[in-house]
Amino acid sequence: MSIYGYVRVSSTDQNEERQVIALQEAAVSEKNIFMDKQSGKDFDRPNYKKLIRKLKAGDLLYVLGIDRLGRNYEEIQRQWCVLTKEIGIDICVLDMPLLDTRNGKDLMGTFIADLVLQILSFVAQSECENIKKRQAQGIAAAKAKGIKFGRPEKQVPDDFGKIVKAWEQKKLSFAEVLKRCNMSEATFYRRLREYRFLQDNKKA
């Protein structure tokens, strides 16, 4: 029997240390810990796939929490079935002792584990959806206050009109125009359209 551990964090700036320490305390060697820094919305993760290829019947897999395995209710259920029934390994969820397939191999034990799994995987997906909802609400509230997202808009120089006129009269090369405006070609043309639109409105 080989003992493995799986660690997942949602992004590269999240700290995986707590999960790694918990797995090492459960006697999982460092070389047998597989980690993905990726969303839990599905199981299309490179190191999870490597882990699946390594596992064989009788092995033991540790995860700290069911949400570390994934956050999609149906996907968690399906992967649990693949791991425990198709491959034939045992899984131990450290944060939830009832989810340890080594215990209660009888009908009642299996029923309890399946029930706990369904509840926890549902909670994991619900929390994921709540996080997205809170993020959307936060962004909407920020926009309502005038907070802008993304890169700040490139400001045109004070003498933009003179630069454009000199360019139109072929007194400036396009390269010199971009240099003076400190803009990319795409940004210059966008600001030029805005400038001409404002000029036309003034004339109207």
Report, as residue numbers or ranges, the catalytic residues.
10
CA-based end-to-end distance of the chain = 82
Task: Using alpha carbons, list the distances in angstroms from residue 106 to 83, 109, 142.
Answer: 18, 5, 54
* Tokens describing residue 152: 């700040």
Angle, vertex CA 106, rays to CA 101 and CA 109, nearest 5 = 55
Query: What gap in Å lies between CA 22 and CA 119, rounded to an integer?
Result: 23
Nearest to 120 by CA among 60, 80, 179: 80
State the greatest distance between any 2 C-alpha atoms of the chain, in Å, as a whole number.
Answer: 88
3-state secondary structure at position 28: coil
Task: Using alpha carbons, list the distances in angstroms from residue 89 to 28, 50, 62, 174, 200.
Answer: 15, 15, 11, 66, 72
* Tokens describing residue 163: 């630069």
